[in-house]
């Protein structure tokens, strides 16, 4: 059992290292691009991969490799921001709901039920459609509809933690509700939320790419928007969609492996 726990932690650290390297790379990747990602050169349009353009060019003559490198930052950090905002909103709502109880809990949970009554991606498309296209609006739409699962998860743990003796002792000692939540409840409820958040990184990546593919996300070099722009050339110039799709696939696989390793290492039920 101890050996399996040690192996799980080592695996988590390995994938966490790869994740950090990926994030750092995305910060500087735009400076590594061999060409201007937005430079239009109709004379070089639809060129197949060669020495000058290793991944070819799109219908406007823009370098595919340069656009993938330029879009790495927005695609990866948009996924991180979606999960972070969803966790922040969901944790706050879940902690208040679970600790306060009564009418507050009833109202917040009914709001959660309303959000969960609709498929998440459909609701995100509706919100993004009302806000208009743009990466910021896409992130907001996905975070505004993705917080509910974190709220329910946090609430369930808070309801359990609230009955612990150390919480009751803190109440008897006259500590404020805010102090109890921050010092006793939050540290004990955050672990499963973090595990869930890492597991949802891959779905966040696919969701923001999906919104961009539909024209509701980023309008600049973003992997989903590259797929949308290149779909009409898919048969004539398959590399236009192949490489952005491959980038999404590889990053999604890494996010999945990271999420699984974090779950194996941190989830108490897996120990």
> Can you give the residue ranges of every domain in the chain?
79-270
Confidence grade of residue 269 (pLDDT, cut at 50, 70, 90): low
Q: Residue 63, class by beta-carbon neighbours within 10 Å (0-12 exposed, 13-18 middle, 19+ buried)? A: buried
In degrees and rounded to multiples of 5, residue 118 shows phi and psi of -115, 145
In the prediction, which pLDDT does 244 show? 92
pTM: 0.87
Structure tokens at 132: 């208009």
Q: What is the mean pLDDT of residues 103-114?
A: 91
What mean pLDDT do residues 184-207 have? Answer: 88
Q: Kindly report, residue by residue over 134-157, the tens digit of the pLDDT.
A: 888 899 999 988 999 999 999 998
First to last CA, the chain: 8
Whole-number pLDDT of residue 270: 46
79-270 sits in which CATH class? mainly alpha
Tokens of 118: 């609709």
Q: What percent of the chain has pLDDT over 70?
A: 96
DSSP 3-state assignment of 47?
Answer: coil
């Amino acid at each position: 059992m101890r050996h399996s726990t040690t192996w799980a932690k080592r695996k988590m650290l390995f994938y966490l290292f790869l994740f950090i390297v990926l994030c750092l790379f995305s910060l500087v990747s735009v400076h590594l691009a061999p060409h201007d990602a937005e430079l239009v050169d109709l004379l070089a349009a639809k060129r197949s991969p060669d020495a000058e353009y290793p991944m070819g060019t799109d219908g406007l003559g823009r370098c595919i490799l340069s656009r993938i490198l330029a879009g790495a930052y927005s695609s990866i950090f948009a996924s991180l921001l979606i999960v972070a905002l969803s966790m922040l909103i969901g944790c706050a709502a879940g902690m208040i709901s679970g600790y306060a109880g009564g009418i507050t809990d009833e109202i917040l949970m009914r709001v959660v039920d309303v959000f969960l009554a609709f498929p998440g991606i459909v609701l995100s498309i509706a919100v993004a459609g009302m806000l208009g296209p743009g990466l910021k609006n896409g992130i907001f739409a996905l975070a505004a509809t993705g917080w509910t699962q974190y709220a329910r998860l946090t609430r369930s743990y808070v309801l359990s933690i609230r009955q612990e003796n150390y919480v009751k002792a803190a109440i008897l000692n006259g500590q404020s509700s805010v102090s109890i939540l921050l010092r006793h409840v939050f540290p004990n409820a955050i672990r499963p939320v973090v595990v869930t958040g890492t597991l949802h990184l891959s779905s966040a990546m696919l969701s923001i790419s999906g919104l961009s593919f539909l024209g509701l996300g980023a309008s600049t070099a973003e992997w989903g928007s590259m797929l949308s722009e290149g779909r009409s050339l898919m048969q004539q110039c398959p590399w236009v969609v192949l490489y952005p799709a491959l980038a999404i696939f590889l990053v999604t696989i890494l996010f999945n492996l990271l999420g699984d390793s974090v779950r194996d290492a941190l989830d108490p039920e897996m120990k």
